[in-house]
Structure 1
Amino acid sequence: MIWDEHEVADAIQNAVLRAYRAFDRYHDDASFRAWMFKILTNEIFSVNRKRGRIARFEVPLDAEEMDDFAELVSAAAETFSSWETLADALDEDILRALQALNEAERAVLLLRAIGDLRYREISECLDIPLGSVMGNLFRARQKMRGALVGKRGRRSP
């Protein structure tokens, strides 16, 4: 995703507008955060389709795109509390390990670890089965562990 600030602002505005218009279809028994993420995710996919960028699970990783993505998500769902702190904490080894994951694994891992979404919320947000969420998260964690333990030696939990 290569978005300029106008695309980000438009996507946020459209997602909030869609949520407002569809609020009568929101069910109290569902997670509001997952519902909002789903609307935001669909808006991102829609913008990408229109612009010819059709990666279903694309999660940005360069510093500028990470900031744009964090602003987009926090403005819409108020999930990320301090993206700058996280970006500062990510060193090159972690960034490389994240980039080595496939798009589905990366999306699930980031939504779980950074967005603090539950498995069911991730399933709803990405529109994939719960089992796929668990499998992708397991593989992502294994790959991250393998990449980071190899670089830094055994870490204690």
Structure 2
Amino acid sequence: MSIYDYSSDEVLIERFKEGDEFAFDLLVRRYEQKVYQLAYRLTNNPDDAADVAAEAFLRMYNSLKRFRGDAQLSTWLYRVVSNVFFDFRKREARHQHLPLEMPTDDDDEPYELPVEDESVDIMGHALQQEQRRVLMEAIQQLPEYQRVMVVLFHIEERPYEEIAQIMGLPLGTIKSRLNRARNALRQLLEPYRELFGVEESPTTGVPQEASDAL
């Protein structure tokens, strides 16, 4: 292990800007698991996730010398992965002659953030695998932008402010669209209340269960 392994992202970026290719290799090593994990959670397909991750690192290589440090590298890289995913879905939609679902202005209406019900615990070991499968399938049914926001917030546990940076949108817009995405996910999970041990309507607490199960 070299001294570079203990260097900060900022130091490695500066080394790369000075022509040190090994510094870039270390950054890839540092983030490859997180990048692949995000790509897999967005695509739910290991081959597609590998393609998205590879393209994300290629874009990172081509753009990193222009990186100004306005955000943390992890935030910037998550944005790159999200953009690669959107482009991937656009190509896929063109090949299948399907429209890519985009957010509308109606998604940006202000709202009051609901209070989450944290009383439900679904971490029963025997059911976790089935819960994971159902949740991933439900997330895959969301429109692309909703899918990215749900994954970033409820699974990757990114704060609103960072998601706003990743998506390049105002904070209020992120909160509004995430609220709609959350409601859409709850509706998709409505038939599976018993699987998650939720007796009442799944509009209380299902997103927390999604992040727990995944």
Per the TM alignment, residue 143 of structure 1 is displaced from its structure 2 partner at its CA by 5.7
Question: Which residue in 1 is equivalent to 2:179?
Answer: 138
Per the TM alignment, residue 9 of structure 1 is displaced from its structure 2 partner at its CA by 3.1
* Cα pair 2:101 2:143 within 8 Å, conserved: no
Give the 5 Å matches for 1:25-44.
Answer: 25-44=66-85
The 2-side partners of 1:8 and 1:145 are apart by 25
Aligned with residue 88 of structure 1, among 99, 106, 129: 129
The 1-side partners of 2:68 and 2:176 are apart by 28
Distance 1:19 1:139, change over 3 A: same
The answer to whether residue 169 in structure 2 is matched with residue 122 in structure 1 is: no
Give the 5 Å matches for 1:102-121.
Answer: 103-121=144-162
Aligned length: 127
The answer to whether residue 59 in structure 2 is matched with residue 13 in structure 1 is: no
Distance 1:125 1:56, change over 3 A: farther
Find the residue that maps to 2:100 and give its secondary structure. Answer: coil
Per the TM alignment, residue 101 of structure 1 is displaced from its structure 2 partner at its CA by 5.5
Aligned with residue 23 of structure 1, among 42, 64, 79: 64
Per the TM alignment, residue 46 of structure 1 is displaced from its structure 2 partner at its CA by 2.5
Q: Supply the RMSD in Å over aligned alpha carbons.
A: 3.9
Distance 1:109 1:93, change over 3 A: same
Greater shift, 123-132 or 17-26, is seen at 123-132
Find the residue that maps to 2:166 and give its secondary structure. Answer: helix
The 1-side partners of 2:146 and 2:186 are apart by 13
Per the TM alignment, residue 89 of structure 1 is displaced from its structure 2 partner at its CA by 6.7
Question: Which residue in 2 is equivalent to 1:55?
Answer: 100
Per the TM alignment, residue 134 of structure 1 is displaced from its structure 2 partner at its CA by 0.5
Find the residue that maps to 1:137 and give its secondary structure. Answer: helix
Higher relative contact order (CA 8 A, sep 6+): 1
Per the TM alignment, residue 30 of structure 1 is displaced from its structure 2 partner at its CA by 0.4
The 1-side partners of 2:173 and 2:65 are apart by 30
* Cα pair 1:98 1:106 within 8 Å, conserved: yes
Name structure 1 gaps, 5 residues minimum.
Answer: 58-86
Name structure 2 gaps, 5 residues minimum.
Answer: 1-42, 103-127, 209-214
Structure 2 length normalisation: TM-score? 0.43
Residues 32-78 of structure 1: CA deviation (Å, up to 9, x unaligned): 22211111222222233334266356xxxxxxxxxxxxxxxxxxxxx
Find the residue that maps to 1:90 and give its secondary structure. Answer: helix
Per the TM alignment, residue 106 of structure 1 is displaced from its structure 2 partner at its CA by 3.7
